[in-house]
Amino acid sequence: MNVTLRRDQQEWLEELVKAGVYGSVEEAVASILAQHMDLEIDDLAWAKPLVDEARASIARGEFMTLEEHRARMDKRFGKLRR
């Protein structure tokens, strides 16, 4: 298969090869495609129960604001610094 890339895409791939990330442009393209295909396969359905539980927890009022979290962490780190 022959694929025509834009100049900037070709240069980017060549830079990855020069940096030693990949052994060749062909290897870079194959690896990047494989990574993209893996992302497509993972539909994140596994995360739905976790998100549902987090939402339920928030609805029950079981959460901490960012400010509360920072204050708690400052207090904990303060004890460690002594």
* Burial class of residue 68, CB neighbours in 10 A (0-12, 13-18, 19+): exposed
Rounded mean pLDDT of the chain? 92
Predicted pLDDT of residue 45? 85
User: Among residues of the chain, what percentage have pLDDT more than 70?
Assistant: 98
The confidence band for 82, taking pLDDT boundaries of 50, 70 and 90, is: low
Domain ranges of the chain: 7-42, 46-81
Contact (Cβ atoms closer than 8 angstroms) between residue 24 and residue 31: no
pTM confidence score: 0.49
> How many Cβ atoms from other residues are within 10 Å of residue 64's Cβ?
10
